[in-house]
Structure 1
């Protein structure tokens, strides 16, 4: 019988497990509340960990019936067989299916196999703009087991020669628009390099690749040409400015390329996505993350020759773009465009990239709609990366104990005056406190190796810090300053040393200084970056001294930098000094110069501004300075 007042029908008893279930439910609610209060990102961090674990299995395991190691090229061949008629690349309205790219790259492979001295393991330099043939040549060479060196298409003259020499290619493949660039340095190229151009009519000494492709076979290239036995063998050379000097060829192994190719998937992209790539393919972001990511997914990419802020959203609507790649400057350029009706009328749901400033990030979302910004951090040659899987505005990622299962990194104290890490009396480095900027370093070990730069042992060694916390340890010096907050979010702070970032590119100050120093009236040129309100990164500035009894020719300086430097590396400001300050090791001092900036109110030395209309540097007056600060003069 039921107890009086129980509310239960006669003959029914209260189940003995009901109070236990009630207590369990209350406990779970309390634990959920506690988790959200104390560790609000637990589930997103766990999801990220599982994804990274899955990526690790994909990139290090053996696949196939024979247990062969799989590369990015193998993944492409699988997709070409699985979905041959699916669009892989859309370029200027033309569609190139997975099968089209496979066959065209087969043609490239057969031409070079039959008409060039190439053999497996040789290096081939590639100088082309964003176009389908960049991918065709890249994959064709990969099918022969060659290592491809992506040359920066903005680099000219001495810098280009340096790049070619450093990677020691047997063959150089040039796009149709770069024949004049190569002709300028043709007499100074190392002997034995075979030069091929993607053009029908070519000068003497250059072979037409385009002509031979018209009659070449597109049949399958045997896998034996490119099969690998070690994922840490070279796959690509991608040039990076690094922290000092001329561009350096960072070695990208097959394992690193495979890891990069999972980036789009890790951020939530699917085979149904259409990815818009406007970044240059010679950069790892576009080639490894963008093209490689599309291959991993079996997705479609819309490739544009060059980024256009005015046509960006028109392209997105025209091609039903759902994902685009960015650098911080790209988002800022889009926000600077005149406002138009229907700016949120598009299908873009994800933006993947790095360098988005917090204020630009917020403005971008307010103006262009509910787009998830997927920020990540990673140097081309580095052995560490971060992904902002939570969408926290301004952050490059999180550094929880989950992350440290994969990477050992530290933010260490740095001396900005001496331009070096701070060491104590025993010679050890120390971590900064949370909230303080520190130099990001990552431990080099078997799991996270650093392969260095081709033909540049000295620069490879300069990127390593030894005996950091204990005898014998080795760390990769990213050259980047980071801040970690109390919630373990990481934020990019600045670049140290001799490199600064402008217009989305790294500018090596010693390279720019060397170009200016070639002028016969220049004694020394000390190049650095200065902050300009409203701009991402730092604008270039050169402090110069003159040779005795020589005068400054501002038009010649302008002509020199325009002729020999890409637009992003040209100094916007000049400062003429009587004497350069140097360190005890004869390194030119930059810290004070950077602090003083380009204000004529603070600096008594003559200052000059780059005027593209007058094709010269002109005196930087207070009026011009004010107009730059107010944004009336654009840099």
Structure 2
């Protein structure tokens, strides 16, 4: 009697398992994701209920006590333990405490490349309760000045290798900013932080300097172009920093992992997910000054790396390296990042082995994020019943010609159908706030959409087009507005246009991004109208852009037009120009290509175009 019953039960379980796999194939992946989110939320809530405002800095300080001799940062073969980093960051704090007028809450700008002192200065300033503004180390001239002015810092700390960049703008810095350099040799008017560190105390800084009363207080400013205009300092609160630091833990990383960080620390991925993630885990990170495709796997083998962070371009460059017999000879088990194309994804796994790819989506200043917890190739995440309970987002119709969301006769926005790209927007409320940008409040307002589906509702505009398939997987489609991504960076078209427009023979400039075969993102292209009776000086255009723009923002292509089309809202028409691209066989206007060897723009011939499309000419 018992045997038939057990047999029936077993058959029922097998049938239910088969049915679940058939009808709800991602059920357990969704449950796992939900449990991790709930665990993180409960952990934060318990801290608050206990009256503890536990920040990333507090976590680091506790680790420096519990595991002082454990390596925290490995950089160019040198090892910096948790105790080493704690003591040197305390030296930074004591120097600034004793030799400056900095006080709690003051913004301080940090301009440094990837190096241990970036972390030392960051944590040292955090110990004083200062808000640290991470400056993009690629910026120069007016762009750098704009960023410094927008975050209104009381001081600027600069790395030795970037001191020349600051010297160029030194006479134009706002009054009242003290400039500190991680260098023994400094020009007049700059204070040597290195010199003062040698005699500074490394004793713990009194907690009263940095203790916070609310997780909503500002911790960092991280610059982002958003969807319009020049870079803006996004406010990163203590809560956002904590959430970012929990990312690696949520993906299954542990204290035993060794994490390879080649992404720039001035971005949220490198700083919050990378360094912050290592602190949350109590793990070790291998920090690289700059990504090198030829050294990548050798570094992974040398330091026993188990996890690395990526952007799509990074994996693309690794796949382009010459094949070697030992391509799968490593201990890497996990890669976390964003922007990985499906074809590169497949090629990467086929060549380098069974590495779990954790593709994610999230804007630095945004209140919405997705995680691809199933490993579905090409997807940035998946929405499900559980996700909808936690986050309110929509994909709405967007008018590409007018460059604005579509509204019906009643004035409401309209959700798109599955399979149709739509603008991703996220509901702003008490549980999912949007903290905006420091400085000019209009920048914060421009990122919000009001009265979207009903009177009084407010949504954050991500500026990204996403589409959802029939299985509810989400895929990145494109960016809107006046930015595009190239080389892993957001390029602000208005910034590029302003730089080119400074030339006395240019009347008007329209900048946009164009897709290029086998490249992530879009390459910059500038459509130009010349002033009457003036000729085009290609060498001057080249000199102008390389002098005033970071390398990733320099337009790869020029197009000379006689007139510019405008939209119904009197904006420069970009949509058709993007569609037309840079094919000389389809465009009758003169076209030019940026030639770094000749230090000029050269005519874009059919032969040169073919070389670009075949990948024989690097962009």
Which bracket does the TM-score occupy, shorter chain normalised?
over 0.9
Tell me how far 1:21 sits from its aligned partner. 4.2
Residue 357 of structure 1 corresponds to which residue in structure 2? 341
Tell me what 1:47 maps to: 32
Residue by residue over 1:506-554, the C-alpha shift from the partner in whole angstroms, topping out at 9 and shown as x without a partner, is 1111111111111111111100001111111111000001112211100
Match of 2:299 in 1: 315
Deviations 1:203-236 (A, max 9, x none): 1111110000000000011111111111011000
Name the residue aligned to 2:278.
294
Where does residue 603 of structure 1 map in the other structure? 587
How many Å separate the matches in 2 of 1:405 and 1:223?
38
Say whether the 8 Å CA contact 2:402–2:569 is kept in structure 1: no
| 1:405 corresponds to | 389
Separation (CA, whole Å) in 2 of partners of 1:579 and 1:408: 44
Counterpart for residue 21 of structure 2: 36
Mapped to 1, the partners of 2:380 and 2:578 lie a distance apart of 25
TM-score by length of 2: 0.99
Q: Residue 576 of structure 1: CA displacement?
A: 0.4
- TM-aligned CA deviation for residue 63 of structure 1: 6.6
**Distance of 1:141 and 1:312 partners within structure 2:** 32
Q: Does the 8 Å CA contact 1:59/1:259 hold for their aligned counterparts?
A: no
Equivalent residue, structure 1, for 2:220? 236
- Aligned partner of residue 549 in structure 1, secondary structure: coil
Regions of 4+ moved over 6 Å: none
Q: Which residue of 2 aligns with 1:588?
A: 572
Match of 1:517 among 501, 508, 517: 501
Gaps of 5+ in 2: none
Residue 563 (structure 1) aligned with residue 547 (structure 2) = yes
- CA-CA distance at 1:571 after TM superposition: 0.4
| 1:506 paired residue among 487, 490, 500 | 490
**Cα offset, 1:580, TM superposition:** 1.2
Q: Deviations over 1:540-586 (max 9, x none)?
A: 00000111221110000000111111111110000001111122433
1:476 corresponds to which residue? 460
Q: CA separation in 1, counterparts of 2:213 and 2:597?
A: 57
**Mapping of residues 252-271 of structure 1, within 5 Å:** 252-271=236-255
Per-residue Cα deviation, 1:329-350 (whole angstroms, up to 9, x for no partner): 0000000111122111111000
Look up the SS of the partner of 1:61 in the other structure: helix
1:282 is matched with which residue: 253, 266, 280?
266
Contact 1:576 1:606 in 2 (8 A): yes
1:527, 1:58 → 2: CA distance? 46
Give the equivalent residue in structure 2 for 1:344.
328
Partner SS, residue 335 of structure 2: strand
Alignment check: 8 A CA contact 1:599 1:625 kept: yes
Report the Cα distance in structure 2 between the residues aligned to 1:455 and 1:67, rounded to whole angstroms.
Answer: 31
Determine helix, strand or coil for the equivalent of 2:310: strand
Q: 2:216 and 2:5 mapped to 1: Cα distance?
A: 56
Provide the C-alpha distance between the structure 2 equivalents of 1:212 and 1:353, rounded to a whole number of angstroms. 38
Displacement after TM superposition at 1:58 (Å): 2.5
CA distance in 2, matches of 1:390, 1:500: 28
In structure 2, what is the Cα distance between the partners aligned to 1:296 and 1:192? 36
Deviations 1:436-478 (A, max 9, x none): 1111000011111111111121221111111000000000010
Structure 2 CA distance, aligned partners of 1:615 and 1:626? 21
Q: How does 1:6-155 map to 2 (within 5 A)?
A: 14=1, 19-62=4-47, 67-155=51-139
Counterpart of 2:476 in structure 1 is: 492
Shift of 1:68: 1.6
Counterpart-to-counterpart distance in 1, 2:46 and 2:523: 45
Q: Is the radius of gyration larger for structure 1 or structure 2?
A: 1
CA distance in 1, matches of 2:484, 2:468: 21
Matching residue of 1:163: 147
Give the match's secondary structure for 2:401: coil
Q: How far apart are 1:277 and its partner, in Å?
A: 0.2
State the Cα distance separating 1:22 from its structure 2 match.
4.1
The residue that corresponds to 1:623 in the other structure is: 607
Q: How many residues align?
A: 619
Secondary structure of the residue that 1:62 maps to in structure 2?
A: helix
TM-fit CA distance, 1:61: 3.4
Query: 1:105-163: per-residue Cα shift (whole Å, max 9, x none)?
Result: 00000000111010000000000000000000000000000000000000111111110
> Equivalent of 2:443, from 459, 463, 478?
459
Q: Once the 2 structures are TM-superposed, how far is the Cα of residue 183 of structure 1 from its aligned partner?
A: 1.1
Q: How big is the shift at 1:262?
A: 0.6
What is the Cα deviation at residue 20 of structure 1? 4.6
- What is the CA distance between 1:59 and its match in structure 2? 3.0
1:596-622 CA distance string (max 9 Å, x none): 100111111111010111110011111
Select which of 565, 570, 575 maps to 2:559: 575
Aligned twin of 1:208 = 192
Q: CA deviation at 1:199?
A: 0.6
CA contact (8 A) 1:248 1:456 kept: no
The aligned runs of 1:544-555 (5 Å cut-off) are 544-555=528-539
**Distance in structure 2 (CA, Å) of the matches to 1:459 and 1:628:** 38
Distance 1:108 1:580 in 2: 53
1:32-87 CA-to-partner distances (Å, cap 9, x unmatched) read: 111111001111110110000111122343279x7321000001011111111000
TM-score of the pair, normalised by structure 1: 0.96
Would the aligned equivalents of 1:61 and 1:69 in 2 still touch at CA under 8 Å? no
Residue aligned with 1:108, SS: helix
Distance in 2 of aligned mates of 1:407 and 1:58: 19
Contact residue 402 and residue 568 of structure 2 kept, 8 A: no
CA distance in 2, matches of 1:632, 1:184: 36
Mapped contact 1:60–1:255 kept (Cα < 8 A): no
Partner Cα separation in structure 1 for residue 230 and residue 313 of structure 2: 23
Q: Secondary structure, in 3 states, of the residue corresponding to 1:69?
A: coil
1:195 corresponds to which residue? 179
Distance in 2 (CA, whole Å) between partners of 1:620 and 1:19 is 78
